[in-house]
Amino acid sequence: MLTHISQQNYFELFQQPEEYKLNLTQLQENLRALQKQFHPDNFASQVQEQLNQALAASSLINQAYTTLLQPLSRAIYLLQLHGIKLDLVHDTKFAPSFLFEQIEWREQISAAELEQDFDELEVIEKQLQTQSQQLELQIEQLFGAKNYTEIGELVKQLAFYSKLEQLVSNILAQM
Amino acid sequence: MALLQIAEPDMAGAPHQRNIAIGIDLGTTNSLVATVKSGEATVLADIHGAKLIPSIVNYGSENLSVGTPAHRLRISDPANTLVSIKRFMGRSFADLNPEVTYPYKFVAKTGNIQINTRSGIKDPVQVSADILQYLRTVAVEAMGEEPTGVVITVPAYFDDAQRQATKHAGELAGLNVLRLLNEPTAAAIAYGLDSKNEGTFLIYDLGGGTLDVSILRLAKGVFEVLSVSGDTSLGGDDFDHRLFCHILEKSHLSQLTDEDTAQLITKAKLVKEQLATLEKVAFSAVLSNKRIVNLTITRSEYELIVLNLVKKAILPIKKALRDAKLDKDSIDEIIMVGGSTRMLAIRQAVHEFFGRAPLTSINPDEVVAIGAAIQANVLIGNKDDDWLLLDVTPLSLGVETMGGLVEKIIPRNSTIPVARAQDFTTYKDGQTAMSVHIVQGERELVKDCRSLAKFTLRGIPAMVAGQARIRITYQIDADGLLSVSAKEILSGVSSFIEVKPSYGLNDEQIGQMLHDSISYADSDMQQRMYQEALVDARAILESVEKALIADAELLNESEFTQINHACMKLKIAIEQKVTDFEAASSKVKQLVETLNQVTSDFASRRMDNAIKNAFTGKQINEIE
């Protein structure tokens, strides 16, 4: 059973169509159904080997779920299934205007952090979320039109915003 | 609290063959042990009639006492009566609040916490084990036999070091620790199964030493933790201490003996508890210099002096909501757990934050132990009800990279179990070893995070710098504990890693540990490796034998023979007298590997079989 699971891609595992647009409720329901079968707690009184398999299966299911749940990782994964592998770490080609925007955002965040301005940081957080949502909509349209090459650029931008959101979230969490 | 009547399943097997599971709430101030009897969970009382057993150990010259008798010795023998030991678990001296002085004789004011008592040096794990041992005897007295397994609860916000320490304590007390369960989750189980409510709940758990805020979703028999936040050094004890300081100021007291301090803190605690129901309380004490302390504390006076603590106690609610991406109106019910939530100031603060009253009708003292007992019952195979628990890891896991930075591998609030892999490479030609430092926490710099483990990966095949592909896999299991494995991908070499927990140690001590492990005499090391190989071999033999008894029909004749044959060879190998430890371990490891290989299909088939039967509605343990 374990080999069977690891041979399916994440969409197949969760019985979801291989699309960007996702039925979140269905995804969550399927997570519960899958973990009900495979979670180690179900095998607590069984032999170590089965426990180990359950641990591996359960971890894989959690990983698949997290990948599909987040818009950014879902996009990257879906591109991967279509043979496009993004190198977000090393590919740093961006339009200068986009880079300038990023620098501005970072300066805003630094300033707010220095002032320990909680409210300002929350405002920035909301603005970043709006930007991300717009990108996600565009990505959804391009996936629908099967325009995979252009999606890569947008995903790179989404990754940037994701990082900024993380940064703000971490600063807020420590305040 | 009236609990759900869970019917006994139709099972062959007389009642006395049923395994007994217990749940233990190992609290900062009080501990409880509970069990599930005839489908109902109950908290057990000790011979003094106490269900809430003080988490206090007194070390006498002849023997030790735990609980109520130890509590009585607190004021007269403060140096040997250890209280709130949970605050020391998995911590080093540097972690402690410098404002608080303890009457204990610490061995050193650096490194691991060790206390000199009348009956020798004790560390927190030993002390907790003594408490757990006591709870175990309470269970044995009540049930008439040893428990098969135990679930011990821990604060959800406990890090890996604190969890490991708790697990060690359980093992030291001779208990079979089935699971470390997060306290708010335990409370949610007890509440959820009893009320049968579905929705999104926030558990606010303020105990003697720790605060946990946990947001869970209960739906269709699945308890899913969405986020966790908290403070592992904020609890009722801190409120006691603040009141104690206030009393000292008000009475112009200074330079007290340890006995006086113990008396005043104990009485301050009582005053705090009484202020939950009274507007003002009288405080009086006679000190060892015959000085009399007499004053009145009013509730408003108390609330003023603890104002900052209350503010601190609300912060984690905001963090938990943010991490769960919820606003406060999305919470269906706010559930108060832990003795310290009886404080009016806390209840009012929570009420103010949410704009509505929290639920205070469940027993805040017992609910965690009850939940633990219910979970323990499930884990030993008495699956009386159909529900599942999905918990999360509370802190981000990261690895140290160049410049003392942290690279996060597993983010906080990831659902467990979870596994991540990371690829590394060598930076020098011919490099055959690599050091990895794993930390836990949210900060950018390593020095600001909790150091979990440093390990050295050896045996990397010598290559040109940057060629090797070393994959390190981090696994956080259902207890929230970390295990690490590594493999060099190109050569397939799976190197043996010894993970040395580095909590509580400074860099010098860690360096010494690593140095010591390298300079073990060669033969000592080999003998140790042989012992370890033996332990592995015995474990796998036992589990294969059990599997053959249960599911032999899943194998055909030749497979059965093959497995038996492999078992025999291994058995013979481990019985042999050894002169060359290196050769012997190598042989045993090889035979273990062979046995693993020939039983791998069998294990998959057993799993398939179990799942098939789960689908058709049969219980797994009915097949055995």
B240, B269 Cβ separation under 8 angstroms? yes
Its CATH class, for the domain covering A2-69, is mainly alpha
B148 to chain A: nearest residue by CA? A45
Residue B348 reports pLDDT greater than 50: yes
pLDDT tens, chain A, 175 aa long: 456 677 788 999 999 999 999 999 999 889 988 888 888 887 766 666 777 788 888 999 999 999 999 999 999 999 999 888 887 766 767 788 888 888 999 999 999 999 998 889 989 999 999 999 999 999 999 999 988 888 988 999 999 999 899 889 878 877 7
**Tens-place pLDDT, residues B147-178:** 989 999 999 989 888 999 999 999 999 999 99
- C-alpha distances out from residue B170 to A98, A118, A130, Å: 56, 43, 49
Which chain B residues contact residue A45 at CB under 8 A? 19, 379-381, 620-621
User: What is the percent of chain B where pLDDT is above 70?
Assistant: 89
Shortest distance between the Cα of A149 and any Cα of chain B, in A, equals 27
* Long-range residue pairs from B242-248, CB within 8 A, at least 24 positions apart, any chain: B242/B305, B242/B306, B242/B309, B243/B268, B243/B271, B243/B272, B243/B297, B243/B302, B243/B305, B243/B306, B244/B268, B246/B305, B247/B283, B247/B293, B247/B295, B247/B297
Measure CB to CB from residue B620 to each of A29, A42, A172 and give the nearest one: A42
Mean pLDDT for the stretch of residues B127-139: 96
pLDDT, tens digit, for every residue of B316-341? 999 899 899 999 999 999 999 999 99
Of A1, A170, A173, which is closest to B607 when you measure between CB atoms?
A1
Q: Which residues in chain A are closer than 8 Å to B618, comparing Cβ atoms?
A: none
Token pair, residue B67, equals: 């609980």
Closest to B364 measured CA to CA, from B334, B384, B391, B388: B334
Positive/negative CA dihedral, B406, B408, B410, B411: positive
Q: Is B173 helix (H, G, I), strand (E, B) or coil?
A: coil
Q: Does B145 contact A at CB distance below 8 Å?
A: no
Give how far Cα B585 sits from Cα of A56, B460, B538, Å: 28, 21, 13
B587 annotated active-site? no
DSSP run (H or E) holding A121: helix A118-144
What pLDDT is stored for residue B6 in this prediction?
Answer: 40
- For A172, the closest of B178, B322, B620 (CB atoms) is B322
Mean pLDDT of B366-395: 88
CATH placement of domain B15-234+310-390: 3.30.420.40
Specify the range with the lowest mean pLDDT, choosing from A147-151, B53-57, B113-117.
A147-151
The catalytic residue among B77, B86, B130, B269 is B86
* Measured distance CA(B482)–CA(B438) in Å, rounded: 10
Predicted pLDDT at B443: 83
B467/B426 Cα distance (integer angstroms): 7
Between A and B, how many residue pairs show a Cβ–Cβ distance under 8 A?
108
Quickly count: other Cβ atoms within 10 Å of residue B427's Cβ: 10
Average pLDDT on B2-20 reads 43
**Chain B residues touching A174 at Cβ < 8 A:** 442-443
Write out chain B residues lying below 8 Å of A50, CB-based.
603, 606-607, 610
Over residues B285-317, the pLDDT tens digits come to 999 989 999 999 999 999 999 999 999 999 999
| pLDDT at res. B254 | 83
Instruction: In whole angstroms, give the CA distance from residue B357 to residue B263.
Output: 36
The answer to whether B337 touches B190, Cβ cutoff 8 Å, is no
Domain B397-518 has CATH 3.30.70.260: no
Residue B551 has pLDDT above 50, yes or no: yes
- Best probe of the A interface among B148, B220, B388, by most A CBs < 10 A, is B388
Looking from the CA of B277 toward its CB, the CA atoms found within 13 Å total 3
Cβ separation of A1 and B604 shorter than 8 Å?
yes
Give the distance from residue B216's alpha carbon to the nearest chain A alpha carbon, in angstroms. Answer: 14
Asked if pLDDT for residue B580 goes beyond 90, the answer is no
Closest C-alpha among B598, B594, B550, B556 to residue B573: B594
Find residue B224's DSSP bridge partners.
B217, B390
**Closest CB to A59 among B220, B418, B540:** B418
Q: Which of A21, A61, A33, A45 is nearest to A144 (CA)?
A: A21
Test B417 with A41 for CB contact under 8 angstroms.
no
3-state secondary structure B531-553: HHHHHHHHHHHHHHHHHHHHHHH
- For residue A7, what are the contacts with CB-CB under 8 A and spacing of at least 6? none
Q: What is the mean pLDDT of chain B?
A: 85
DSSP string, A16-58: --SSSS--HHHHHHHHHHHHHHH-GGGGTTS-HHHHHHHHHHH
Q: Does pLDDT of B390 surpass 50?
A: yes
- Look up B51 and say whether it is catalytic: no
Q: Say which residues have a Cβ less than 8 Å from residue B616's Cβ, sequence separation at least 6.
A: none
B112 or B135, which is more confident:
B135
What's residue A134's pLDDT? Answer: 95
B22: its two tokens: 């217990």
| pLDDT at residue number B557 | 87
Rounded-to-integer distance, Cα B384 and Cα B364, Å: 25
B100 beta partners = none
Q: How far is B344 from chain A (nearest CA, A)?
A: 26
Helix extents (H) in B290-425: 299-305, 307-324, 344-354, 367-379
B183-213 pLDDT tens trace: 999 999 999 888 888 999 999 999 999 999 9
User: Hey, what's the torsion of the CAs at B497, B450, B481, B511, to 10 degrees?
Assistant: 20
Range list for CATH 1.10.287.110 in chain A = 2-69
Helix (H, G, I), strand (E, B) or coil at B585: helix
- What is the location of CATH 1.20.1280.20 in chain A? 96-174
pLDDT at B479 over 90: no
Higher pLDDT, B270 or B624: B270
The pLDDT assigned to B624 comes to 35
Q: Order the strands of the B64-66 sheet from edge to edge.
A: B64-66, B57-59, B81-82
Contacts of A169 in chain B (CB under 8 A): 322
Q: Is B322 near chain A, with CB under 8 Å?
A: yes
The dihedral built from the CA positions of residue B57, B63, B68 and B71, taken in this order, carries a sign that is negative
The DSSP output letter for B140 is H
The one catalytic residue among B25, B160, B238, B391: B25
The kind and range of the H/E element at B597 are: helix B581-615
- A170 contacts in chain B (CB < 8 Å): 442
Residue B525: band (very low, low, confident or very high) from pLDDT cuts 50, 70, 90: low
Check whether domain B522-622 has CATH 3.50.50.60, yes or no: no
Is the model more confident about B283 or about B543?
B283
Report the residue of chain A nearest B546, measured CA to CA: A47
* pLDDT value for B517: 43
Q: Is B280 a catalytic residue?
A: no
Chain region(s) in chain B for CATH 2.60.34.10: 397-518
- Tell which B residues from 371 to 400 touch A, by Cβ distance under 8 Å: 378-381, 388-390
How far apart, in whole angstroms, are the C-alpha atoms of residue B51 and residue B336? 20
B536 is catalytic: no
Which residues of chain B form CATH 3.30.420.40?
Answer: 15-234+310-390
- With 50 as the cut, is the pLDDT of residue B506 above it? no
Task: Give tens-digit pLDDT for B408-454.
Answer: 899 999 999 999 988 888 888 888 888 889 898 888 889 888 888 88
Choose which CATH entry (1.10.3720.10, 3.40.50.300, 3.60.15.10, 1.20.1280.20) describes domain A96-174: 1.20.1280.20
The whole-number pLDDT of residue B418 equals 94
Instruction: Say if CB B272 and CB B255 are below 8 A apart.
Output: no
What one-letter code names the amino acid at B361?
S
CA pair distance B573, B588, nearest whole angstrom: 6
Active-site hit among B123, B183, B240, B323: B183
Chain A contact for B348 (CB, 8 A cutoff)? no
